[in-house]
Structure formats: C-alpha cells, structure tokens
Chains A and B, each alone.
Chain A
Amino acid sequence: MPTQVTNYQCPACTGPLHFDSATGKLTCDYCGTSYEVAEIEALFAEKEQKAAEAKKDADRKSAQQKQQAQAEGWDTSDLGGDWGQDAAGMKSYSCPSCGAELICDESTAATACPYCGNPSIVPGQFSGSLKPDYVLPFKLSKDDAVKALKAHYKGKPFLPRQFTNENHVQEIKGVYVPFWMFDGKATGSAQYEATRSRCYTSGDYEVTETDHFDVFREGSIAFEKVPVDASSKMPDDYMDSIEPFDYKELKRFSTAYLPGFLADKYDVSVEDCHERADTRCEGSLVAALGDTVTGYDSCVPVSHDVKLRRGKVHYALLPVWLLSTKWQGKNYLFAMNGQTGKLVGDLPTSAGKFWGTFAAISAVLTALISAGYLLFA
C-alpha cells in the first residue's frame, strides 16, 4: 500500500529542489533560486504535517475503493493484494509530484522518482528514535566523482588499455550512507622484547654484544566518533577505505540536505557494528604504545591486553559517491568520499602488461649488469 513521501518544492515556482554540494544550499531545478537549508526546513515543517494527514486520507480512500470493488461483484481474491514474502523487504510510496508508485527497499530514505525524476524523501525513515544525529553534506558533485575516477586510472601501468577505452561508467549515485559513530576509550598494556647491540673488534674476532630488555608500556587513548557503516548494502572495506571524514563540517540532521541524493536508513544494529570499532581502537592503542618504545635496535611485541570503555554512539549520514562499471562480465565498484574526494576501488590487472614489464626489467637489468661484469670484472 502506497505511503506518503515528500519532495521539497521551490516556494517561487514549485519546481523540485535539490541540495547543491557546491553551495551548500537547496537549489531549484527550474528557476535556479537558492535557499538556505534552515529556510526550507521551516517552510516545509507544516507541509510534512499535512502530508501525514493526506496519507491517512489516502489509506482510507483506498480501503473504501476495495470494498466497493468487492461489492460490485468483481472477484479480486486472486489479485496480489500484497507482495507476500517479497514485500517483507519492500515498501511502496506515492510520488508527490506525479503520483507514480515508487517501490523501494525498506531501508530507503531518499530516492528519486523513476518517472518524473523528482527527488523524494521518506520522512518516516528518519523520525523518532531513527532520526540521525548528524549529516555530513555532500561537498563534491557527480562531475568531481567522474574526474576522480579518471585520475584513479592514471599511474597504473598494469591497467588494461581496453578497460579505460571501452569502459563506461554504468551508474553514478550519490548516497548518504548510514554510519554509527562510536566514542570510547581504550586502556591497556603491551610487552615487548627489545635489544640493543654494539660491535667491536677483539684480536682476530668481531664481537657483537647484545643487551636484552623486557619492555612494558601501559596507557590509554580516547576516541571520538569512530565511524562504522550501518548499511548491509555497503561493502565494509570500501567504507573503511574512503575515510577519514572531516567532522568539522558535521551538521545537525535535516532531511533538507537529502534532495538530489539517495539515502538509506541503517539496517545493521549498533551491536553488530561495535566489534569493528573495537578492533580499530585496539589496533591504534597497541600501535601507539609500540611507538613509545624507542632507542633500541630491535623491538618484538610479545603480548598485549586492551580493555575498551565504550562511550556514546551517534547516528550519522555520511556522503559517498558510488560509481559502478562492468568489464568483461565483471562488475567494478568505486567509492568516493563525497566530502574529501578520496576515491577507492580495485582495478583489473593485465597479465600481458605484468609479465611484459617483468620481462623488460629483467632483460634490461641482466644486459646492463652482465655487460658491466664482462667489461670490468
């Protein structure tokens, strides 16, 4: 059953508004007028209330129509009144602009109508306890993402030429990805075996004296907002790789930042995510303790013991550009930090170029060194 979604319309011409990453304002697609986020939030607070009432009316009307159809004798018992088990992961909404039915994933929070293209928000996905604490607005545009991808291809000598020539980006989408942000403190200790050596000559012998030390370090380190993506659709390693985000530009959450982009609500719980944050905090503490062991020639970690004191958890939407492409039947995904422009994505390796380079380096080196050897040895 369709439920209500909202799209932000221009107060001047009623055209659809979208968030402009370059200006940080909402801009009308038609008349080009720009509005501050706060201004639009105030204007549409009332509209959202009306939309909720309209939803109730629509639900009531739909029920009446069904009853009427049954009364007039049509047998609709075999029609799919719902989607059965398929509906478990789906939701449908009505586009407020053209009235088309939008079938979305149940975690979809912002999308675009496939018929009229208007950006639409599902306010219910971010209401009550589901409301994110923060949003980090997009700073980079789709064009920036395409440029970053081209730059990503540069300086990769093993990238197949056909990949760049034939390759066309199939899909580019700006997504506000849900993240849990963990505050906490890691306290722990680590033990190391360290050595310091000195060499001297005694008669016909070279003597190496090595002093051995047991080194112990204990300390703590505090963390703030360690991000862990809370969307099962996003590959964890990609989301880790596009970090870090600059939190100075974090804003209090508002749906006004979402038009023009896709957004999902979280579908991985805090409990399922905190282990990833714990592992990273532990890794940082152990590395930091190890950095304090100085003045030795060698230092081997023996053991460590880390305890984590968990603090507040924040819910935020962070900007990510996703670019996908297909080559030789294989999908290649690239993700770009929508704030900093850091782009990641594994590239295919040309076996020919790999072995060709190997053979060329081997041959040139062998020829040069052999010539030198034959001439001077």
Chain B
Amino acid sequence: MKKRIITVLLALTLLLCLSVSVFAESQLWNITDDAGLLSDEEYTQLESYAESVSETYGVGVYVITIDNYEDYYDSPYETAWQFYHEYTLGEGEDRDGIILLLSMDNRQFANFVYGPKADYAFDEHGVLELNDWYLDDFRNDDWAGGLNHFVAGCEDFLAKAAAGEPVRRSTTGPILLITLGSMVFALIVCLILKGKMKSVRTGTHANAYVVGALNVTASRDQFTHTTKTRTKIEKESSSSSGSSESGGGGHGSSGSF
C-alpha cells in the first residue's frame, strides 16, 4: 500500500513538472520550434546558422517558438528568461546568450539577454534596435525569414561588439536637432527683445478717436459647403519595436507582432 502511494505521488509530481515545461526532459537546441513554424530544411539551416554564430562569438543565440506563453508563465518575457535558466542556456562560464521567444496564439514575442559579453553586444537600446531586424517579417507571417533575420542581426551585433564598436544609441542626430531647436528658440527670443528697441511706428488705426461704437448695418453668414478629410490612425503597436524589460538576472524586451 505504501509503495502504491509513493508511486502515485511520484507520478503526480512528474505530471506537475510536465505541465510547467514541455521541454523538461530534453535539452534545448539553438532553435526549438515547438509551434511548428519551420520546415525541416529551414530548421536545419537555421540551427546550423545559430550554432555557428554562437560558437564564433561565444554568445549563445537561441529561438523558442511556442503556442501560448500563458501555458507556462505570466508574461512572454518571464517565459523567455525562465526557459533560459531552466535549460541552463548560454555559452561559456558566464552563460552568455540571447534568446528569442515567439508565442503564436497571441502573437507576442520577448527576448532576454544574459551574461556580461551578451550585455556588451546587446544593451537596452541594442535589444530594441535588434527587434527592427525581424518584427516586420513576423507581422507578414514570414517566420523563416524573420528568424533568419534575428540570427543575422545577432551576428551583426556580435561582430560589431567583437570589433570594439557595439551598437549604441546614436546621440549625434538628436543632439543636432536639440541644438538647432535651441538656436531657433534663442533667435526668436532675441528678435522679440530687439523689437523692444524700436518704438516708432506709423499709425494704422484711429481707434482712440472713435465716437460711439461700430454701427453694424448688415450682417450675413452664409454656409457654402463642407469639406471632409480622412487621416488613417497609425496604430502605435504596428511600428513599435517593443518595450524594454528587466528581470531574471538580465534584460530584454517584449511586445506583439
């Protein structure tokens, strides 16, 4: 009887573990296509590409596609970092790596960056910029193209980081704009102040010498026509590169596509 109870308890525990993670009993590869987005050929090619990039730069590049993140954790981002740690992903001692998670039922994505080397290659701005490489493909349901662009983007970012020139937010353009705006504002202020130096002007009105008030003898307001203009409302999400996230010992981003 005791043995049976223990067996049942063990079976229940196993069942519980399985409900938390479908991948609990297997090791994750660089590409885990649980949602079945890729053909075998596409999968093989992408797996080889991701593996090669990971080995070249010492930073693991991972992709996991699932049906719905809600089957695992509360948010796509949490699901991404939980998987990353659960399966001990990453390259080297520090487990450097980046993982992209796609949740297909609700068309959500998240990525998670872990380890100092990965942090150097993908800072907060870099992660958002990386999203621009592939999100448009996903919006057009081009899954293989999007995932390829993700790996290609990672390769590009890692190559730049290896060359000592990681992708960083460009401050030149915005600061140039700020400088130009400040100069225009300053010029307006200066011209207003210069206008105070001039107080002599030819008179154009005789309002001070009006007797009584304006006597309106006729007044007509005639409606002629109506014009209509329609402007398409740009949805913020359609152009968004996602929002930054942190947690799980690293950082990343999440959003929808």
Contact = CB atoms under 8 A, between A and B. Distances in A.
Interface string B229-253: 1111101000000000000000000
Given A205-B230, A216-B218, A155 B196 contact: yes
A253 B97 CA distance: 99
Contact of B211 (A158, A213, A224, A365): A224
Contacts of A291: 214
Q: How large is the interface on B (under 10, 10 to 19, 20 to 34, 35 or more residues)?
A: 35 or more
Interface stretch (B14-22, B38-46, B77-85, B201-209): B201-209
Nearest to A292: B216
A365 B186 contact: yes
Interface residues of A, number: 75
Main secondary structure of the interface of A (DSSP, over half): mixed
B163 interface: no
Contact of A208 (B208, B211, B231): B231
Contacts of B187: 358
Contacts of A377: 169, 174
Interface stretch (A49-57, A132-140, A275-283): A275-283
Contact of B207 (A219, A284, A345, A369): A284
Main secondary structure of the interface of B (DSSP, over half): mixed
B3 interface: no
Interface string A264-285: 0000000000001101110111
Interface stretch (A19-27, A37-45, A116-124, A234-242): A234-242
A217 B218 contact: yes
A241 B201 contact: yes
Nearest to A359: B186
A263 interface: no
B54 to A, nearest CB: 32
B197 A349 contact: yes
B2 interface: no
A237 B205 contact: no
Given A211-B226, A361-B185, A362-B179, A237 B206 contact: no
A348 B198 CA distance: 9
B211 A344 contact: no
Contacts of B220: 214-217
Interface string A356-367: 011101110110
Given A211-B223, A362-B185, 16 more contacts: A207-B231, A212-B223, A214-B224, A224-B209, A240-B202, A283-B205, A284-B207, A285-B214, A288-B210, A289-B214, A348-B197, A357-B186, A365-B178, A369-B178, A373-B171, A373-B174
Interface of B: 169, 171, 174-175, 178-179, 181-183, 185-187, 189-190, 193-194, 196-233, 235
11 contacts: A204-B233, A211-B225, A214-B220, A216-B218, A218-B217, A219-B217, A222-B212, A281-B206, A345-B200, A361-B186, A366-B179
The 5 closest A-B pairs by CB, nearest first: A240-B203, A244-B208, A365-B182, A361-B186, A218-B218
